[in-house]
Amino acid sequence: MEFAEQIRAQGKSVFEAAIEAAELRLRPILMTSFAFILGVLPLYFATGAGAIGRRSVGTTVVGGMLVSTVLNLVFIPVLYVLVKSALEFLGRKKKPTGPAEFPAKL
């Protein structure tokens, strides 16, 4: 989520950055995924000799691309918000520590 990191640098919250980055990436993700799926449709609708093998490959690829597109559009922004929020929360809880103190020599 490089776009989200750039938006965060502008001072927006983690949630706002994830939403805006997801909106920016929606069209390119959908266009790339659907172009690939349309390119594989001849395998999905194969007929003739070897059609069963081609259909199984086409079905797997089309299904995998549909699932990966949904995960890319939904899961990645949610995961970004969860991980980034957790890291910021943990970063605030840590107290700065100085050099380790050693007992004085007698």
Kindly report, residue by residue over 79-89, the tens digit of the pLDDT: 999 999 999 89
Mean pLDDT across the stretch 21-31?
93
Q: Which of the two residues, 96 and 21, has the higher pLDDT score?
A: 21
Single pTM value for the model: 0.69
| Residue carrying structure tokens 């750039």 | 6
Predicted local distance difference test score (pLDDT) of residue 104: 60
Mean pLDDT across the stretch 41-62?
91
Say how far apart CA 21 and CA 6 lie, in whole Å. Answer: 9
Predicted local distance difference test score (pLDDT) of residue 92: 80
Buried/exposed 7-31: b ≥16 CB within 10 Å, e otherwise? bbeeeeebeebbbbbbeebeeebee
